[in-house]
Chain A
Amino acid sequence: MDQKILLPSRKVFSDTLFELAKEDRDIIVLTSDSRGSASVENFAKYLPEQFIDVGIAEQNLVSIASGLASCGKKPFIFSPACFLTTRSIEQIKIDIAYTGRNVKLIGVSGGVSYGPLGSTHHALEDIAFMRAIPNMTVILPSDVNQIRILVKKLVSYIGPVYVRIGRNPIENVYSNEDVPFEIGKGNILLDGEDVTIIATGEVVKTAYNTGVLLGYKGIYARVIDMHTIKPIDEEIIFESAKKTKLIVTVEEHNIRGGLGSAVAEVITRRFPVKVVMLGIPDEFSITGSQKEILRYYGIVPENICDIILEGLRRG
């Protein structure tokens, strides 16, 4: 937790990929007039042969990437998560997942990170959509240090992957040197026996801070960074369910169909314990900054802490 200057994850993602793309000419970046919002101007400027802008046409965007991948290219699509996962969902299902093309779909400015722009620009159903598609891997990295490792892994990983990143600078979860990251394997950030908090994406830090806060009150939480939602780390969920009385999930997503649902699917089948799902309720959300919206819906350490204390009291 040493970094003082905070960088937006999209910038770190793009810069890391840019360095790799200089060596690997098969990496192709595609955008839908989103070079600025995705921070991929470097590609347009310095690697124009590896950059394709299709204009504001997300369906075409995804299918073109499928065609490129069929010819051995390694396409990385950058487009706002809200448009990429809804406007072109059929192209994702058929041309990427069903056909089995090696395309990386990077949904930028996901969750409510577009804040005041309203629900057209929020992506709060992307996890639900993407994880219902066979062959699709779904990843929400929690900080820029993890992203640096993730990008390298994505280049060598063959197959369709959806990655949701945010828009605004976020606090680090991991220090620079120490980033365990394996696709499909959750990371235990804190270990405890009273409660398990499982979080994904940019609210992992909130979950971690909740765990710290609980510790001051003598409650010991296990906090898991579930960066990969599909395939989900069943073993870590099973093990946590056996260990703690309560499981709490935290996500920047509609509480229907996201991380909470994915965790519950494992719990109900393998070791039923109580699961409390925290996220955005099933409504078109209030507007404001990302921080304001999350606070409004109670995705802040103090509130999660209270919910957990109440949950433990009730047993």
Chain B
Amino acid sequence: MERDVEYLKDKAKDIRRTIVRMIYQAKSGHIGGSLSSVEILVTLYYRILRIDPKNPDWPDRDRFILSKGHSVEGYYAILADLGFIDREELETYCKFNSRLTGHPTVKIPGVEANTGSLGHGLSIGVGMALAGKVDNRDYKVYVLMGDGEQAEGSIWEAGMSASHYRLDNLVGIVDRNRLQIGGPTESVMSLEDLSDKWKAFGWSVIEVNGHDIKELINVFENTPITRNKPTLIIAHTIKGRGVSFIENKAEWHHKVPTEEEFARIMEELA
């Protein structure tokens, strides 16, 4: 059953609320980047990815890697909503001995790689995409990266190898919210022209509004953009999207809301 755009929009609202609740309860988390990637995750998980929560190791499943492992709350919320894990388990997020740590691990059904150190996910995705080609399986591999993460040299090693091996079953997504922990990406370490950089590395690049579900569906459904080339989607987003006083504020990279702020957020997200 194909879920329509309205369904996905409602889902995004639910996930946003769950993200904030998890962070508020755990007193830990990365609120800004989690809120910026909600539509990307929701579109992938509820519409695009070929997955089966009852069979998380299904060999023909699509693979998703959260290379920006700190944006984990939305990821866990979706895995719980889809039934990979129990909903109640979300209450244990960041608590003692919980498997729901502040960065995801493969102990959690549905998680494909342990991430949290930036710059690893795309290379792991290259390995998965290569295995798919060798085995003639038609799954796709999706890797969600941060924009600050683009400064990691290993990303570009991965980029080079993906085009060298013509991995058109690999889709990289950059959550381009333009802020990292230390401030605007362009003042910490300028990335532009990001699109040209990826093109120069042999990828087909497309830019989208990362909060527009319709646009996201359209792009995801049409990958690879070019045969024999990996696809890179630059998803323009707003860090902290959905909450007026969090949006576009670098200090909300991993700030935990106070009781009063929490109430205001939930009001805005109602």
A residues whose Cβ falls under 8 Å from a Cβ of B:
28, 49, 52, 54-55, 57, 59-60, 62-73, 75, 90-91, 94-95, 98-100
Contact = CB atoms under 8 A, between A and B. Distances in A.
Contacts of B125: 67
A99 B113 contact: yes
Given A67-B131, A99-B113, A57 B124 contact: no
Contacts of A55: 157, 160-161, 164
A221 B119 CA distance: 51
B206 to A, nearest CB: 24
A67 B135 contact: no
A99 B105 contact: yes
How big is the B interface, by class?
20 to 34
B130 interface: yes
B242 interface: no
B114 interface: yes
B56 interface: no
B114 A95 contact: yes
B163 to A, nearest CB: 12
Given A60-B154, A98-B114, A67 B128 contact: yes
B115 to A, nearest CB: 8
Given A72-B131, A99-B114, A64 B124 contact: yes
A60 B106 CA distance: 20
B69 to A, nearest CB: 10
B126 A67 contact: yes
Q: Is the interface of B mostly helix, strand, loop or mixed?
A: helix
Contacts of B113: 66-67, 70, 95, 99
B175 interface: no
B130 A64 contact: yes
Q: Is the interface of A mostly helix, strand, loop or mixed?
A: helix
Contacts of B165: 52
Contact of A60 (B105, B128, B158): B158
A94 to B, nearest CB: 6
Contact of B127 (A57, A59, A66, A98): A66
Contact of A63 (B124, B129, B160): B124
11 contacts: A55-B164, A57-B157, A63-B123, A63-B154, A66-B127, A67-B129, A67-B131, A71-B132, A94-B116, A99-B105, A99-B114
Contacts of B157: 54-55, 57, 59-60
Most buried by A among B123, B132, B165: B123
A67 B130 contact: yes
A55 to B, nearest CB: 7
